[in-house]
Amino acid sequence: MWQFRRLYIKNVLTHHPLHNLFSELSDSEAITFMLSGGIVQIENKNVEGFNFIDHEGVKYSCDKALGWISNQHVAKIRYEDLMDDPISCLKASLQAVGVEIDNRRIQDTSSRLQFSIFSGGRKRGVEDKKSHFRKGISGDYVNHFNGLHKAICKQIIGYHLIELGYEKDLCW
């Protein structure tokens, strides 16, 4: 998901400090930047001269997420699981943190967690680059990653991806 932030920044968030940079970069270059991070000089109209943004890359996001979900009191819900089987996913996540399950409420909640509802009626797989709910497809990053992107991920967050269950090993 984090690799698609660059699409949202490039196509929608015209006020975002990285918008101008992403508008000038190819999609591949923008993905590389989002993954590896870096320091970027930006113009700030509120401050004379130039400012810099230190984008820490995907490892920062993964470290924060892993720190959060390692807490035993946090209900863990993976987007992929929620999309595949919302009822079972919600039940398992809530039971894991000791929440009493009301099957009717779970059914009602899961019926409202459909991609088509959040995307304004689109079916999963129908892309809208200007929507926060872009495509609704798990693992679509493989269609956008090249060899460099894979190498960056394996080096920087490879073991995070294994720990989180997104990859079995580093041979992908």
Cβ atoms of residues 21 and 5 within 8 Å: no
| Gap between the terminal Cα atoms of the chain | 18
What pLDDT does 45 receive?
64
What pLDDT does 144 receive?
82
Cβ atoms of residues 55 and 41 within 8 Å: no
| CA dist., res. 59 & res. 54, Å (int) | 13
Say which residues have a Cβ less than 8 Å from residue 26's Cβ, sequence separation at least 6.
none
What are the φ and ψ backbone dihedral angles of 38, each rounded to 5 degrees?
Answer: 160, 175
Cβ atoms of residues 117 and 129 within 8 Å: no
Q: Is 50 helix (H, G, I), strand (E, B) or coil?
A: strand
Q: What's the predicted TM-score (pTM) here? A: 0.73
What pLDDT does 83 receive?
82
pLDDT, one tens digit for every residue, the chain (172 residues): 555 677 778 888 888 888 888 888 888 898 899 899 988 887 766 666 668 888 888 899 889 888 888 888 888 888 888 888 989 999 998 898 888 888 999 999 888 888 888 888 999 899 888 888 888 888 787 788 899 999 999 999 999 989 888 889 999 8
| Residue in this structure with the two tokens 């894979």, named with its chain if needed | 150
Three-state secondary structure string covering 80-118: HHHHHCHHHHHHHHHHHCCCCCCHHHHHHHHHCCCHHHH
**Beta strands in the chain, from DSSP E residues, in sequence order:** 38-43, 50-55
b/e sequence 30-66, b meaning 16+ C-beta within 10 Å? bbbbbbbbeeeeeeeeeeeeeeeeebebbbebbeeee
Whether domain 2-163 has CATH 3.40.50.300: the reply is yes
Domain boundaries, the chain: 2-163
